Structure 1
Amino acid sequence: MSAITARRVLPVPLPVIIVAGCFIAMVTFGARSTSGIFLLPMTEDLGWSREGFAMALAIQNLVWGITQPFAGGMADKFGTGRVLAAGALVYALGLFLWSITPTEGIFMLTGGVLMGVGIGTASFGVVMAAFGRAVPPEKRSFVFGIATAASSMGQFVFAPLGQAFISNFGWQTALVYLGLIILMVVPLSTMLRGQTQSAPGDADMPFMQALSKALGHGSYRLLVIGFFVCGFHLAFITVHFPAFLVQCGLTPEASSWALGLIGLFNVAGSLLAGWLGDRLPKQILLSVIYLLRAVGTAAFLLLPITEVSAYIYAATLGMLWLATVPLTAGLVSLFFGPRYMGMLYGVAFLSHQIGSFFGVWLGGVSYDMTGDYYAVWYLGIIIGLLSAAIHIPIKEVKAPAFIGPQPAPIG
């Protein structure tokens, strides 16, 4: 197979690809990040337990993670635009059915399984696969940071927007409105059409062989393990942080703004991480991020929790929130090249979502058993420190099995 550059496969101008992809990332991640603000109105209105609500969203995270490698592989092979459009339709359907869900069991199917499939096939992970093939290697971490920042802006916009929808129209209508917004992804997905081809200097092999060789690469295994912790942190806080702040005496509006501040400050954090990732060792940056998360959380819990301290913690956490994503995606792209970016980042993201499953579920279990969330907060600190240590041995070099024939020198 002859090597084909990404620009010849994707005739859409690169700035258009980036703008469309960032908007898709903002909308899909933003709508999903509102899940936590539905916990109190739904459980109070329907008489559900918090563990039942949390289990549905834990299933959503797990299904999202399981779907991601397959969605990434399909995007690599058949085209990103088609996968994104199909995922947006399933995502919107999940929100529409969530709005009429009568029981916890059905909620696990609509808000859990169906939405998990939709998010997994219309998420920023698939968008990054398109960026990975369209952007030169020396600029990928920064562009991945831009996509991550767009996702964070979605959290900043949608957290207060979702709360406004709930306050003015009720939680059921709010979900319908979010579903209608998700449908905007379908026409935008045409800007990211095309599939990934082998680039000069990259090995070309069947997808399952590539997966097997990637899992045999020690640095990739460490990266995958560490990403589990990121998922644990993000999912626990996304779902349970608003309710935790209300329990500490803050208003629902203040708690939704705290969640939104995480997204706002992560715009800067993601851009900074992407910029630094092109200049400093990515594995060291990841280690520092996990260490700072653990230290910042410990300080937040030890000090009196007020509206001001919640906002300060949200801003601090926001700088570290999705800053792991451009660095992790950058390492995956560096290890294996853009050809298998969708699938192999998807495998790493599956680990992230297994962590999300436990973060969401254990939060619900902790509250129902003890009446608070402190056990999970402390667990998050411990595994954050462990993740900081895990990333240090990672080597920032291309995996030997993925080095292909080098292009002949010109002239």
Structure 2
Amino acid sequence: MAITAPRGTQDILPGESYRWQFVERLVLEAASKYGFQEIRTPTFEQLDLFCRSVGDTTDVVQKEMFEVKAQKGTDLFALKPEGTAGVVRSAIEKSLLNDALPFKACYITPCFRHERPQAGRLREFHQFGCEMFGSKSPSADVEIISIANHIFQMLDIKGIELNINSIGCPTCRADYHRALKEYFTAKKDVLCGTCLERLDKNPMRILDCKCPTCQEVAKDAPIVLDYLCEDCKTHFDGVQTRLHTLGIPFQINTKIVRGLDYYTKTVFEFISNDIGAQGTICGGGRYDGLVEQLGGKPTPALGFGMGIERLLMLLQAQGITIPEPRACELYIGSMGEKANIKACELTNQLRAEGFYVECDLMDRSVKAQMKYANKIKAQYSFVLGDNELETGKANLKDMQTSEQKEIDFNNDLMNILYDAMLAREANLITEQIGEDAFSRILGMDK
């Protein structure tokens, strides 16, 4: 019996990987405009890192985390369920927060959660994230939000909605917890078993429950904004003022609490209705106490995570076409051993100059070689035989128009391919994503 991929995972095939490469390059370039540099942390970490940061009352820790134990030794590890905790651990361990602040880091990483697989929710998924340390200003909140908004604008995504909320600080949240506990205790007969446990440990988690009965009960629960202290109110007002100033539309959604315990004050989500139930494309907020919680000095911090799979689903749902990968510029066919050797020589010379060139590696007939050239969408082709080797000339065929012209293949190819490559790539990109988007992407590289 053939071995298949684990449930909830997917292979990113060669015919699809170019879409990932395009998006990954774009998000990293966008973050670099804001001063964020890439960080890469391990795929697995000490189990305690996530229990302490994510929260041992969350679904992530209680139900979804992949725990890993070596055959020898007693250390317990976990595959990372999210990206923030590893970045915080690294920043503390490598003393990155002792340098000039704010410290800004971004990443693309695989994450792992043992959830029921469905569209937009896999057991192995990928996150693009940005994390900022050192600033308690609402300007930092808006800068983090602006990066995500900038990415959506660059991709020309429509109809995405920014929802924001404040869940306060530990001081004012204590009052809110008491109000929630009182409210849900009176309705505990209809709460699910998990939420009955949350009632004593962390009643805010009930607001994030996926059980329909609990969701219905939560509709009339106390609102966190009514319990904010003066500092948290002022901060949240400052976030809203700056979003208005930058022209970033938003709405306040008091039901947003995020699924991880480390959040404080501002929380936000970018939501789309175009990809079904898993409509949150990006989510984040502040986690001002997390650095201290994990052993560092008190340091305000904030960030977001953006699901790459969901972003790609959204692009597809909105009909936003990603430029296809570079096609073969030239296929050099051959007849006979000497011609094949010359074809290999020319192929490698042209590749060294930056062109995508192929030649026969399968000892095919000329007819089969041309069929292959068509399949790989070669722009040009020519065939070498004894006569071509003797004269140094061959008939270059445009594979789209079937037009042919005689060329000196030792001297003319470089200029022909260079001009054709520039024209082909520029036309391809502008046709597929539009001139405005193409201009934005070119501007990103400046």
Report which of the two structures shows the higher radius of gyration computed on alpha carbons: 2
After TM superposition, is the score higher than 0.5?
no
Greater RCO (Cα-Cα under 8 Å, separation 6 or more): 1
TM-score range for the pair, normalised by the shorter chain length:
under 0.3
- Structure number having the greater strand percentage: 2
